[in-house]
Amino acid sequence: MKVERAHEDGDLSVDKLYDILDLVQVACYGIRSAINARASINSMLPPDLIINIFGLVPCYIFDDDDIQAPCGPYSLKDTRALLPIALVCKLWRSLVFNTPTLWTSLSDATRTLAKYIRGPLQISRLPITCVGAGPLYVGAEVRDLNSQSAMTSAFFEEHGDRIEELHVRLRIEQLNAALPAGEDEEPLHPTISFSPASLRRLSMYGFVRNDGDGWRDRSLFGGSHLNLSSLLMWNIPFFPTNVIRPSLTRLIVYNVSVLRNCEGRGAIPVRNLLRFLSGNVALELVYLHGIAAAQDTDLEPLPVVSMPCLRKLSITFSQSIYQVLSHLRLPDTCLVRLREDRMVSLLYGALESAIAFLGWEGTKAHVVLGVDPERYQDERHRESASLQVINRAAGGLRIDLTGRFLGPIPDLDFSQLIRSLLSTRPFATVEELWLSGWRVAELLSGRRSPISPLSEVTTLHVLNLESFDRAEMLWPNPASGEITMDNLPKLSCLHYRLPHSEHPSEHPSDNKLLALLEARARANHPVSRLFISTRPPSSKRSSTDYDPERGATIIGMLRAFGVEVEVGEDLHDRPEFAWWNVVPHECTAKEGVHMWWPLWVEGGISADSWYLFTSWP
């Protein structure tokens, strides 16, 4: 009853309040056990309980969360968010504010771009009972604004060898001023000069120089060997030259100070990137943004790097995309994501060459072309697409393209670009294909060049098409009456989702569907199985004047062509039809609109990860 009353008086859901109630009961059991054992209450509570308690603190999402999340933890914007769980009971209040801590993480934000912003030294900590139990981080502000002060130095002398996670912000004092000849960047901060005996996670943030020669690899921590598990370099103009043991499995290299075609000053040199990867072949997850291609004047061949353990590779591509993929040897089980937010037509030749170089043979693919015009009124948003494909080894490729920032480019036919990509391996060999989005008709239209050679497709799912009269690619050649390599010659199973009606009898495309089946049967390439997905009666866009007799007649006519027919509500959501159940989750966009797809990172916001971070003044 108290839980329900709290629900009425507050903002917490009933489910969340019952979760709190369960945790309180477990905490009471821990208190009794501690009293009986005459032990410290904090030491008797299981780590999972403490993690679940702090998991009730709301998470805050940031614009750069897709880069920060893989390394986490990051920020709790407002420490007041800790108050609700601190008010549950005295024990929880003790956990929040008085738990003995082991210093494990430090973020130095003493230097900022705007000098009037005075950030504190940020130190995160783990309750000692939770070390190794999960990603629970509670922030503690140390108001020490002078990084050279005795307090900071004493902290590193005392705790440096125990720091497991370090976040460092580096800044070049004058972004546009060249340093005197022979001088390096400003000396590295004292926070990366201690003995990193326990360091496992390192994140560095900075600003690159604006001259083209600013990249200069350098050692950290006095050249000590590192035992990192994850490394994030955000706008840092160097790679560490330290020997990193094979424990490094996650790498994020992100550069934002690049020009539109990613050939601007400060971009990540592809040669330096490949050199760093060659020394860290145990990597499993790699995220790259802002890579500069090697210049034609660079005559030294680029190294070829084998990455046998790589499971996920995400690249925001530029003209360097071919140089990167052609010099990486990836396992067939790797999931590769390529994305570009800036419509630059000269990039796409490099993109086609890059994906063809993978040499993969796709088996299943999903294409989303265009977004809902009712949701996005701005014409610029409609130039968007995503293509996902998996190969026989369960690896996959996903390509995200959008012009939502720059708008359509006059000399680039966007739908023709997608057709060209589908004609390239690994898409060209797929056997099962899903087509969705608001511009599907443009892919199937015969007025454009065909998607060739999509000749292996046996199962086609068309999830958004008003009528088959615009799907010329499915019809026999009008001149010869035959099915050619450009007309899906192996197509035997067709799954069609009606756009508005409850039943095929109520849709004007029925006759076109009948005519299509008849034409393919006459050309000796019949469709043997047909699945029609309808909207449920409760749908706002469903019809209310369904004629059962007319529906039975249509189904009978379809079966007369020897077609196995099944009509059902929302068949496209059933496991055997839904592409998100067939294509691996990492290769898919469950929302169907690629701008809103879930983050393709491990360590993101999930049921078993929470991020706590104190607010800055």
Q: Within 10 Å of residue 573's Cβ, how many Cβ atoms?
A: 13
CA 550 to chain centroid: 46
pLDDT for res 155: 57
pLDDT for res 279: 93
Phi/psi for 278 (5° steps) reads -65, -25
Structure tokens at 29: 């059991």
SS3 content of the chain, % helix, strand, coil (to 5): 30, 20, 50
Task: Enumerate residues 6+ apart whose C-beta is below 8 A from 298.
Answer: 271
Can you list the alpha helix ranges (DSSP code H) found in 428-526?
Answer: 440-444, 510-522
Instruction: Say how far apart CA 315 and CA 400 lie, in whole Å.
Output: 10
Can you list the alpha helix ranges (DSSP code H) found in 38-98?
Answer: 41-44, 47-54, 65-68, 83-86, 90-98
How far does the chain reach from its first CA to its final CA, in angstroms?
Answer: 40
pLDDT for res 549: 59
Instruction: Say how far apart CA 452 and CA 6 lie, in whole Å.
Output: 62
Instruction: Say how far apart CA 529 and CA 566 lie, in whole Å.
Output: 8
Closest by CA to 452, choosing from 412, 482, 472, 422, is: 422
What amino acid occupies position 65? D
Give 10-residue mean pLDDT values along the chain (617 residues).
Answer: 41 65 71 64 57 55 36 40 62 56 42 37 44 38 42 59 70 41 46 75 66 72 86 85 89 69 63 93 88 73 91 80 88 84 62 84 82 52 74 79 52 71 86 83 69 79 78 76 77 81 52 80 85 68 51 70 76 67 50 27 26 23
pLDDT for res 66: 37
pLDDT for res 276: 94
Structure tokens at 491: 């197509």
Closest by CA to 267, choosing from 233, 298, 235, is: 235
pLDDT for res 328: 92
pLDDT for res 456: 84
pLDDT for res 280: 94
pLDDT for res 597: 24
Considering all CA atoms of the chain, what is the largest pairwise distance in Å, rounded to the nearest integer?
92
pTM of the model: 0.69
Q: What is the DSSP track for 513-568? A: HHHHHHHHHHTT----EEEEEE--TT-TTS-S---HHHHHHHHHHHHTTT-EEEEE
